[in-house]
Structure 1
Amino acid sequence: MTTEPKDVSVDVRPKRQATVKHIATRKGGTPLVCLTAYITPMAARLDQHCDLLLVGDSVGMVLYGMDSTLGVSLDMMISHGRAVCRGAKQALVVIDMPFGSYEESKEQAFRNAARVLSETGAGAVKLEGGIEMVETVEFLSKRGIPVLGHVGLMPQSVHTNGGYGARGRTVDEWQPIIDDAKAIANAGAFAVVLEGVAEPLARKVTEEVAVPIIGIGASNACDGQILVTEDMLGLFAINPKFVKRYAELGDGIASAIETYADEVRTRAFPSEEYTYKMRGANQ
């Protein structure tokens, strides 16, 4: 007797817009589908497939050509957050708290996070950090600010951590990351992003932490996955090891622009097909 394969393509999202409560219930279930978004048209296209859309501070590198995320401002995040919320009807929208907007004190974090949610309509904020951010996460959670945590490789700490290399590739590096994830979850985070860690560590964190673990460069052992949309669509020449390119849109864009330029220079465009004509007898 053969057993039918499990249908893993079933859409388990709620019919209305997802909430943090819905995301939290997905621990150990069908993996969460998450991507980044920064503008309304892209958010609208991603929304029908994703459980969570992250307005990441990666916007600084993706749209503004910055070398890191450190130059991103709170106003930038709010502006792009508004745009994404206009396009998202079903996925939960989460907005990154940029560097310098929450580290000083829990009160600073609350003021800025409250502004982010009230001015964008997003459902939650994300902040980086482990044990050192417990007091802040507790403070926010108790005051109605849902928090998505972020541990492991933390881009906002790139200078103090010596670059973007993967974490947890030796066993003696594991415990601090495990402790960070547990601490943030226990402080009230509804889920935690785990970035850039070795597969065995990702599996252990996912098994030991009670809330969903959303991986990026952390293996399929996690409760969900997130990627920078432009990375997985092939819009950049640099391709991180953990990114599977599902399309090569960069090549397609370059080819289309080259053809357009050639046709403009040879006056092939606009042809009669794309030109307005006079009405009536004067055609």
Structure 2
Amino acid sequence: MSTGYDTAAREADHRSQGDAPGTARKPITLRAIAEMARKGERFACLTAYDFTTARWLERAGVHLLLAGDSAANVVLGFDDTIHMPLDFAVTITAAVKRGAARTVVMADMPFMSFHASDEDAVRNAGRFMTEGLADIVKFEVDRSHAPTIERVTRSGIPVCAHIGTRPQMAAMTSGPRASGRSAESALELIEAARAMEGAGASMLLIEAVPAEVAQAVVESVGVPVIGIGAGPACHGQILVVNDLLGLTDSPPRFAAPVASLGAAIQEAGRAWVRNVAASDIGGSGYSMPELELKRLREAGIGSNPESPRRSGETQPTGTPNS
């Protein structure tokens, strides 16, 4: 028995969030994305970390949202992704899905959430499916992780295998580095892709590899391939939303911002500082009915705006001794 929202509930949910009746798009599913890849139709992906951003990106028509461990960088302020807390990752994944109920939402397994044992992998991936409301769970892997991926997929959990450059392994390489730049490493990536598909992965994500290598991966597997910094051959493309929106001081070389929201936010903040200094806070305030205001003033409150009586202050009743 399903415990998800029914169609009417989802419609009501989205109308309450601002969608006009009848304008909500048809839900995007993993099957729909696989069909798009089969037909050669490109699908758009972005990261999202909160309800509000996810809601706007769904309205924009984005097909897949990744509640990525990059939140460790852009939300929590860490220099790398290995500090992403598992509980926080589950929480933001659920927030993204609540904001984008008709969009495929991909969870991201944090560093050390599956490395110690297959049991950890199944348990923690399962949390993303139940508590996190995810549609699919991403693992940063190489070919050696095929048995783990098979164990997870056999448990009924859809998996996206992240190969190529793996940010969680940056400590091993003294920072992120492009992968697949030699023939040997390119062949290793192709074999890893095949191994992940063989283990049951529903999707691949390949990061920071030469375009020729990404194309070879696409041609070597039968599942959708998402690229980030991997050239145009991939079925889908993903970026960190902060990079796309111009919120990052130094975006990666493969990320071309299409907006300058950082500058816009800064200017909005400056305008607010100026307005507050001028006591010009804008908007519509609240007022008391005249009768209630009169009663308040009869109580001695507010009749002298220059000297408002503080809470708990008592009025002197006599002349102090001198």
Question: Fold conserved (TM > 0.5)?
Answer: yes
Select the residue among 128, 133, 136 that pairs with 2:148.
136
Q: Which amino acid aligns with 2:57?
A: L
**Aligned counterparts of 1:18 and 1:103: Cα–Cα separation in 2:** 31
In structure 2, the residue matched to 1:23 is 33
Contact kept in structure 2, 1:232 and 1:247, CA below 8 Å: yes
Distance of 2:266 and 2:91 partners within structure 1: 28
User: Hey, what does 1:42 align to over in structure 2?
Assistant: 53
Q: What is the 5 A alignment of 1:35-74?
A: 35-48=46-59, 49-74=61-86
Aligned equivalent of 2:16 = none
Q: Return the structure number with greater relative CO, CA threshold 8 A, min gap 6.
A: 1
Deviations 1:184-234 (A, max 9, x none): 112111110000011111111111121111000001111110111111000
SS in 1 for 2:238: strand
| Structure 1: gaps of 5 or more residues | 1-13
Structure 2, unaligned runs of 5 or more: 1-23, 295-322
Q: CA deviation at 1:107?
A: 1.5
Question: Does the CA contact (< 8 Å) of 1:37 and 1:53 recur in 2?
Answer: yes
1:160 counterpart (160, 172, 196): 172
Whole-angstrom distance in 2 between the partners of 1:18 and 1:178: 28
Letter of the 1:248 partner, please give it: S
Distance between the aligned counterparts of 2:25 and 2:85, measured in 1? 34
Show CA shifts across 1:44-77 (max 9, x none). 1111312111110111111010111101121011
Summarize deviations over 1:85-128 as a string: whole Å, max 9, x none.
11112111110011111111211100111122111221111101
1:22 deviation in Å?
Answer: 2.5
Could you tell me how far apart the structure 1 residues matched to 2:29 and 2:118 are? 24
1:9 corresponding residue in structure 2: none
1:171 aligns with 2:183: yes
| CA-CA distance at 1:135 after TM superposition | 0.4
- Residues 20 and 146, structure 1, Cα contact 8 Å, conserved in 2: no
Structure 2 partner of 1:112:
124
Aligned length: 268
- CA RMSD in angstroms, aligned pairs only: 1.9
Is 1:250 the counterpart of 2:229? The answer is no
Contact 1:77–1:96 (Cα < 8 Å) also in 2: yes
Structure 1 residue 278: Cα displacement: 4.6
CA distance, structure 2, for counterparts of residue 113 and residue 170 of structure 1: 33
Equivalent-residue separation in structure 1 for 2:124 and 2:281 (angstroms): 49
> Is the radius of gyration larger for structure 1 or structure 2?
2
Amino acid at match of 2:73: M
Partner of 2:308: none
How many angstroms does 1:170 deviate by? 3.2
Structure 1 residue 16, shift from structure 2 partner: 4.2
Partner AA of 1:40 in structure 2: F
Shift of 1:244: 1.1
Deviations 1:16-45 (A, max 9, x none): 433322222332421111111110011111
- Taking only the aligned residue pairs, the percentage that are identical comes to 37
Partner residue, 1:263: 275
Which of 39, 44, 53 is the aligned partner of 1:33? Answer: 44
* 1:272-283 correspondence to structure 2 within 5 Å: 274-279=284-289
